[in-house]
Amino acid sequence: MEDLSRLFRLAAEHAADYRRSLRDRPVGVPVDRTALAEGFGGPLPAGPTAPKRVLADLLAAAGPGLVASAGPRYFGFVVGGALPAATAADILAAGWDQLATNAVTSPAAVAAEAAAGVWLKDLLGIPSAASVGFVTGCQAANTVGLAAARQHVLADAGWDVERRGLPGAPPIRVIAGEERHATIDRSLRLLGLGADVVEPVAAGPNGAIDLGCLRDVLRAKPTGPTIVCLQAGNVNTGACDQLREACDLARRHGAWVHVDGAFGLWAAASPDTRPLVDGLDLADSWACDGHKWLNLPYDSAFAFCARPEAHAAAMSYSAAYLVGSGGASAGADLTAESSRRARGFAVWAGLRELGRDGVAALVDRCCALARRFAEGLAAAGFDVANEVVLNQVLVGFGDDARTERVVAAVQADGTCWAGGTTWRGRRLMRISVSNATTTEEDVDRSVAAITRLAA
Ligand SMILES: *Cc1c(COP(=O)(O)O)cnc(C)c1O
């Protein structure tokens, strides 16, 4: 037992040392992938290795390939850090090794999810009666939300898709913005609807759907089983669809509305940005990430559904050995997993650490820092290509080839890290400010480095 304490303490100390180093270490480091593979490689050992030695070997092997994405100057993709209490809670979740399937396998895990679910709905302005599934990421949350949608719109048409499947079912219409996230298409493929089912809706100048086009697309065919996918937080521009108006239009056609709000739904947590997602409560299902803007450790996301019965009908499972041992619907009935880890502890801890005001401040700070980025880079003569409404900034440095060179130079330099993207046919640098530890000084240092490298 003494050895176990030492081993766990060593792991936690290494993690803390690593976190402390993030502010100063180069954000992008050149990685020798062959050496990295060799560090982990070699034949499977025939016999056992002492845990202490395994930990030492892992530290040595992984170290050179770690990305400082949890640090304050990592602006790639939409990546948050991991709050201290949430990280500590995740360490405990691993140590406790709880099975979050239901209230028998871990009453504590189920209770933590229930409490965190109430807080999440409160913060996001989602109806309190909604069900919540704790899933791996927004990809999974989109799949769960759209599975509930599929179940409900077909049940309305007199078809039990959970029993009969899709062969012979009434056709389902899926209407989604042309700027939807690619995970929506994968969810549709997994649900047997196929990516080609999408009837695209054109986007306006900043990437939110054009309401007139949504109206036209809805009217183009007679009413029937219909799902409308809306978005809060365009992954390039941060733009949010006009949810109130779009939900009203969809409702008039009897459609189910699913909102992909991986990071943008957090706009609801601050009074300053809440108008961007006005009307979100009118939707039927919502997908939202915890590991992006809420700064929870991976992997953590939420599938909310205003119709718990459709949610459970789509996702629940039963087996003889579960009967009489689980009770009411819990974890396993609201996600696509049976056995899974207890990610609710970290969600609860992160929300408790920040509190309502802390979440609002996190959102406001990231938005203010994104504007600071845009102003700094515009002042240096570069082209900010989007309207900065949230935490995303797109920047051009001349033609596509020149922008690519600047992105590559910034990634090699190590002061900060930002990726490239294509938006409206142009290659651009994409900057996402999503980390709870980023400061004005971090942004100013990054703007200075980008300006220097672009010159
Ligand atoms: C990131 C993102 C997703 C996918 O989320 P994962 O957590 O990576 O599964 C879906 N939709 C939008 C809008 C996103 O930004």
Ligand 1: which residue has its CA nearest to atom 1? 262
What is the number of the ligand 1 atom nearest to the C-alpha of 301?
7
Question: How many A from CA of 142 to the centre of ligand 1?
Answer: 9
Q: Are 417 and 28 in contact (CB under 8 A)?
A: yes
Lowest mean pLDDT across 30-39, 179-188, 283-292, 440-449: 30-39
**Percentage of the residues of the chain whose pLDDT score is greater than 90:** 94
Question: How many A from CA of 261 to the centre of ligand 1?
Answer: 8
Q: How confident is the model at residue 326 (pLDDT cuts 50, 70, 90)?
A: very low
Q: What is the pLDDT of residue 327?
A: 47
Ligand 1: which residue has its CA nearest to atom 12? 262
pLDDT single digits (tens) 191-246: 999 999 999 999 999 999 999 999 999 999 998 999 999 999 999 999 999 999 99
Q: Are 420 and 403 in contact (CB under 8 A)?
A: yes
Q: Beta strand 256-260 with 301-305: parallel, antiparallel or unpaired?
A: unpaired
- Residue 402 to residues 412, 428, 455: CA-CA distances in angstroms? 15, 10, 11
Mean pLDDT rounded to a whole number for the chain:
95
Question: How many A from CA of 5 to the centre of ligand 1?
Answer: 37
Q: What is the pLDDT of residue 2?
A: 73
Mutate to test the pocket of ligand 1, among 235, 293, 391 (most ligand atoms within 8 A of CB): 235
Query: Which strand (E) or helix (H) includes residue 427?
Result: strand 426-432
What CA–CA distance (Å, rounded) separates 187 from 227? Answer: 13
Question: How many A from CA of 391 to the centre of ligand 1?
Answer: 15
CA quadruple 446, 451, 452, 453: dihedral sign: positive
What are the tokens at 34? 């062959």
Reply yes or no on whether the pLDDT at 380 is more than 60: yes
What is the number of the ligand 1 atom nearest to the C-alpha of 139?
9
pTM attached to this predicted model: 0.97
Question: How many A from CA of 260 to the centre of ligand 1?
Answer: 8
Mean local confidence (pLDDT), 322-331: 54
What is the number of the ligand 1 atom nearest to the C-alpha of 299?
7
- Residue 256 to residues 16, 59, 87, 128, 302: CA-CA distances in angstroms? 45, 48, 36, 19, 18
pLDDT single digits (tens) 403-422: 999 999 999 999 999 999 99
Mean local confidence (pLDDT), 398-403: 98
What is the number of the ligand 1 atom nearest to the C-alpha of 142?
10
Other Cβ atoms less than 10 A from the Cβ of 53: the count is 10
Of 19, 20, 30, give the one whose Cα is nearest residue 414: 30
* Ligand 1 pocket list (CB less than 6 A): 78, 137-139, 181, 183, 231, 233, 235, 260, 262-263, 289, 301
Q: What is the pLDDT of residue 318?
A: 73
Residue ranges and CATH numbers for the domains of the chain are: 89-349 (3.40.640.10)
